[in-house]
Amino acid sequence: MQALAAASKTVDCLKVVHSLHCYFLLVGDFNMPIIYEVDRVRDGNSFATRRVDAIQKGNVVFTLLASFQKGVQGFDHQTSVMPLVPDPEQLLSMEEIRERRLTDPNLPRSYRIKVASKSFVPWPIEIKFCEPSSRTNQTKSPPSLRYWFRAKGKLSDDQALHRCVVAYASDLLFSPVSLNPHRRKGFRSTSLSLDHSMWFHRSFRADDWLLFVVVSPTAFMGRGFVSGEMFNSKGELVVTVTQEALLRTPKTPNPAPVSKL
């Protein structure tokens, strides 16, 4: 989000991002500042291209290539169909789900205590899941996820801001979907984003409800692939997203040697 915001500030205000491709090169340090260096690759009448390097401790930890376009009239079609899901007003928020997990007598006491012991910091993005969460049962869940989301609070009319917010939201619950078919009791894993791409098809408001439909068609050689489509409430496809992530199971520490004496 920050890299896209930095790039957006260097282009003509009539141009907005229509696609971005980024690579996560090194693990960053949350406790250290990051410098975003923008390279003005190209400025044309209709398009502009920017490259952004995120630099930390003198190393490039992340790089973004983004293309911006001035609005024009053109061909218009859509074959993707928004799935039938409950309206967001009919669904529980993440805060409401957590509250129910804390008080539901049908859930094991040990699970309720575990939920209560975890710190809960609300996200700036409001999320409402379209399917019940599978975290409380031990069945393998399908490699897909559907949920509504929107920014909390009213945003300005700046389309660049709305696209930055959606870029942030797109990575919150994305790559872990490729782990769903492998979840089981006691399952542990780690994931690390390798690359992330987005295509912005139509204008939208990030403070209105958007439906994010995520699927993971494959995982292989320690890499999981996910793709997603975002629809507005009218069923218009506004954004397409893809990502590949590194998937690993934590290494089991070697047992301490036992004396034979």
Candidates 2.60.120.620, 3.40.1280.10, 3.20.110.10, 3.10.129.10; CATH matching 125-250:
3.10.129.10
Q: Does the annotation count 171 as an active-site position? A: yes
Q: Considering the entire predicted model, what is its pTM?
A: 0.87
Q: Does the annotation count 243 as an active-site position? A: yes
| pLDDT value of residue 91 | 96
Q: Where are the domains of the chain?
A: 1-71, 125-250
User: What is the three-class DSSP state of 218?
Assistant: strand
- Which residues pair with residue 242 across a beta bridge? 197, 227
| pLDDT value of residue 176 | 87
User: What phi and psi values does residue 16 have, to the nearest 5 degrees?
Assistant: -125, 155
1-71 topology per CATH? Thiol Ester Dehydrase; Chain A (3.10.129)
Residues in CB range of 106: below 8 A, 6 or more apart: none
| pLDDT value of residue 257 | 59
- Say if 1-71 and 125-250 have the same CATH topology: yes
Residues in CB range of 111: below 8 A, 6 or more apart: 101, 136
The DSSP result for 116-177, as a single string, is: HHS-----SEEEEESS--STTS-SPPPSEEEEEEEESS---S-HHHHHHHHHHHTTTSSGGG
Residue 80 near residue 229, CB atoms below 8 Å: yes
Here the contacts of 87-92 (C-beta below 8 Å, separation 24 or greater) are 88/128, 88/148, 88/150, 88/209, 91/128, 91/129, 91/130, 91/148, 92/128, 92/129
Catalytic residue, from 2, 19, 93, 193: name it. Answer: 193
CA distance 189 to 33: 28
Low-confidence ranges of the chain (pLDDT < 50): 133-139
Catalytic residue, from 43, 53, 171, 195: name it. Answer: 171
Q: For residue range 151-165, what is the model confidence (pLDDT) as tens digits?
A: 999 999 999 999 999
CA distance 47 to 12: 10
Catalytic residue, from 159, 170, 216, 243: name it. Answer: 243
Residues in CB range of 199: below 8 A, 6 or more apart: 18, 19, 239, 240, 241
